[in-house]
């Protein structure tokens, strides 16, 4: 989807207690990777619980364009007949990754070490996002790219027939950059090494190992992660059960914390330490969350979360936690607005290059709802107004960003006056059942 569809204005009103079970869809990061690893393995990979959001479906189409067979069998049940590492063929058409930075960046890494050219595009949000963070390390393997100014999409990547293995230290904490380099290393002889100063989500490493690659992670004397991948493995097809998405789970969890009298169950939320920073932070703010029935699902540690309405107070979120909750700062800033005292989020400049500039988008919308905000390039500060203190009554711009849209709808559930958004259509990229799931809990969200 390169053209963004018709906007869907939405409005969320103060509602009664949220009750019931919020079974959120499959993890977006793992769903992208399940389709990609399926395409890279020789034979049939079976997937259950796949997130059928637009971002992931676009990655499925891209795998098809590269030569894999991607088949839907039923809700969340898919299979991929892969072509093997080295087996992709040149796509005949432009690869359109829609809204998905993860999709485009991972696939760029994949095709950079093949002897063909691939042209990428995306929607109005994706075409604004920086791609040099990907094309720079891929150039070290020998790939060449021709993008718009600043390396932006549309962009053609000419892969190299004679890739050389690379040792790359990621300049920013980014699982997308780490993964793009490892994916380039898959079709490269020898060992590709990625060094990251701060740990980022580790699904790529876990799944590479699961599909049979020779990959190891060590801690350097400085405390960095050093990931070493042996190139040109034969990946073996797997059965992948995608666990639920902790980033999507954060929306009903945060809503229950601020809507008076709420008590909900959110099953199967990842406790992977590279993803669960939001839950640590919420507990520090005084959230009544119990982590029940800890177990393993789809290779990830998970627990069922029982979440009750809570009196919350502001906290300092340490910068070293940012990577483990990078997608949750928008909804955290909503929760912080309903807390007493100040919440300070430091080390968050990566938020400025997500689907939108998320600090700016949240700051402007929350200010319009009566919340005092301070910000600089790398810092986001919310002065909480207490449980019933957020006025609301604004229409907030979502900037083609699903998480901004859902965050302001959560805000409207507990603010004095309703909160509207100009466009809820991007929600379909990551959480297509959001409206129904929240309505089933008791939220009052309407369209128009």
User: Which residues contact residue 205 at a Cβ distance below 8 angstroms, ignoring those fewer than 6 apart?
Assistant: 182, 215, 217, 227
Any binding-site annotation on 60? no
**Nearer residue to ligand S3P within complex by CB, 45 or 179:** 179
Any binding-site annotation on 324? no
The only residue of 264, 282, 326, 409 in contact with ligand S3P, by rule CB under 6 A: 326
Any binding-site annotation on 327? yes
Cα(14)–Cα(2) distance, rounded to whole angstroms? 35
**Nearer residue to ligand S3P within complex by CB, 401 or 423:** 401
Cα 229–Cα 65–Cα 239 angle in degrees, nearest 5: 55
The only residue of 61, 201, 206, 358 in contact with ligand S3P, by rule CB under 6 A: 201
* Stretch in the footprint of ligand S3P (CB under 6 A) among 62-70, 174-182, 382-390, 435-443: 174-182
Q: Any idea what DSSP says for residue 339?
A: S
Residue from 371, 326, 363, 372 nearest 347 by CA: 326
For residue 154, is the peptide bond before it cis, meaning its omega torsion is within 30 degrees of 0? Answer: yes
In which element (H, E) is residue 28 found? helix 28-40
Q: Are 67 and 89 in contact (CB under 8 A)?
A: yes
In the complex, what is the shortest distance from the CB of residue 323 to ligand S3P, in angstroms, rounded to a whole number? Answer: 7
Q: Are 60 and 78 in contact (CB under 8 A)?
A: yes
The only residue of 135, 174, 324, 415 in contact with ligand S3P, by rule CB under 6 A: 174
The only residue of 175, 345, 361, 421 in contact with ligand S3P, by rule CB under 6 A: 175
In the complex, what is the shortest distance from the CB of residue 179 to ligand S3P, in angstroms, rounded to a whole number? Answer: 6
Helices 277-284 and 246-258: angle between axes, nearest 10 degrees: 20
Any binding-site annotation on 306? no
In the complex, what is the shortest distance from the CB of residue 244 to ligand S3P, in angstroms, rounded to a whole number? Answer: 15
- 41 sits near ligand S3P (criterion: CB under 6 A): no
Q: How many residues bind ligand S3P (CB under 6 A)?
A: 10
The interface mask with ligand S3P, positions 95-114, x = CB under 6 A, is -------x------------
Cα(278)–Cα(261) distance, rounded to whole angstroms? 22
The only residue of 202, 327, 401, 435 in contact with ligand S3P, by rule CB under 6 A: 327
In the complex, what is the shortest distance from the CB of residue 13 to ligand S3P, in angstroms, rounded to a whole number? Answer: 29
Q: Is 245 a catalytic residue?
A: no
- 12 sits near ligand S3P (criterion: CB under 6 A): no
- Which residues are paired to 225 by β-bridges? 196, 219
- 248 sits near ligand S3P (criterion: CB under 6 A): no
- One of 27, 327, 401, 423 is an active-site residue; which one? 327
Q: Are 308 and 263 in contact (CB under 8 A)?
A: yes
Q: Are 384 and 409 in contact (CB under 8 A)?
A: no
Residue from 201, 232, 258, 266 nearest 385 by CA: 258
Helix ranges (H only) for 197-291 are 203-210, 246-258, 277-284
**Nearer residue to ligand S3P within complex by CB, 44 or 350:** 350
Q: Are 152 and 127 in contact (CB under 8 A)?
A: yes
The only residue of 113, 176, 188, 356 in contact with ligand S3P, by rule CB under 6 A: 176
User: Which residues contact residue 136 at a Cβ distance below 8 angstroms, ignoring those fewer than 6 apart?
Assistant: none
- 350 sits near ligand S3P (criterion: CB under 6 A): yes
Active-site annotation, residues: 327
Which residues line the annotated binding site for 3-phosphoshikimate? 28-29, 33, 174, 176, 327, 354
List interacting residues with ligand S3P (CB under 6 A): 29, 102, 174-176, 179, 201, 326-327, 350
């Amino acid at each position: 989807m390169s053209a963004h569809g018709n906007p869907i204005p939405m409005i969320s009103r103060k509602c009664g207690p949220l009750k019931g079970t919020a079974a959120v869809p499959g993890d977006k990061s793992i769903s992208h990777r399940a389709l990609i690893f399926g395409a890279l393995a020789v034979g049939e990979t079976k997937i259950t619980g796949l997130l059928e959001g637009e971002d992931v479906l676009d990655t499925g189409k891209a795998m098809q364009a590269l030569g894999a067979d991607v088949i839907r069998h039923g809700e969340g049940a898919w299979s991929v007949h892969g072509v093997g590492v080295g087996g992709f063929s040149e796509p005949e058409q432009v690869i359109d990754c829609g809204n998905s930075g993860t999709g485009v960046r991972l696939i760029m890494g994949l095709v950079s070490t093949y002897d063909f050219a691939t042209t990428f595009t995306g929607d109005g949000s994706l075409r604004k996002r920086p791609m040099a963070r990907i094309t720079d390390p891929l150039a070290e393997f020998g790939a060449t790219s021709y993008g718009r100014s600043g390396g932006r999409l549309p962009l053609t990547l000419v892969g190299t027939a004679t890739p050389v293995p690379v040792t790359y230290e990621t300049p920013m904490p980014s699982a997308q950059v780490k993964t793009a380099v490892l994916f380039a290393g898959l079709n490269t002889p020898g060992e590709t090494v990625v060094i990251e100063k701060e740990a980022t989500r580790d699904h790529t490493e876990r799944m590479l190992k699961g599909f049979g690659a020779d990959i190891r992670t060590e801690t350097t004397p400085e405390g960095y992660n050093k990931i070493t991948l042996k190139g040109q493995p034969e990946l073996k097809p797997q059965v992948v059960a995608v666990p639920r998405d902790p980033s999507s789970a954060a929306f009903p969890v945060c809503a229950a914390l601020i809507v008076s009298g709420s008590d909900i169950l959110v099953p199967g939320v990842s406790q992977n330490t590279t993803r669960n920073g939001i839950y640590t932070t919420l507990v520090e703010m005084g959230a009544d969350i119990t982590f029940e029935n800890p177990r393993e699902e789809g290779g990830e540690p998970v627990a069922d979360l029982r979440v009750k309405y809570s009196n919350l107070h502001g906290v300092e979120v340490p910068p070293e936690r940012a990577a483990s909750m990078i997608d949750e700062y928008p909804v955290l800033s909503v929760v912080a607005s309903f807390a007493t005292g100040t919440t300070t989020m430091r080390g968050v400049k990566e938020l400025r290059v997500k689907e939108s500039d998320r600090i700016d988008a949240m700051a402007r919308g929350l200010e319009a709802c009566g919340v005092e905000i301070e910000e600089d390039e790398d810092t986001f500060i919310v002065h909480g107004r207490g449980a019933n203190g957020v006025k609301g009554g604004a229409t907030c711009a979502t900037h083609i960003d699903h998480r901004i849209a859902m965050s302001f709808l959560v805000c409207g559930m507990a603010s004095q006056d309703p909160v509207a958004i100009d466009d809820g259509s991007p929600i379909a990229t990551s959480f297509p059942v959001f409206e129904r799931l929240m309505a089933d809990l008791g939220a009052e969200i309407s369209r128009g």
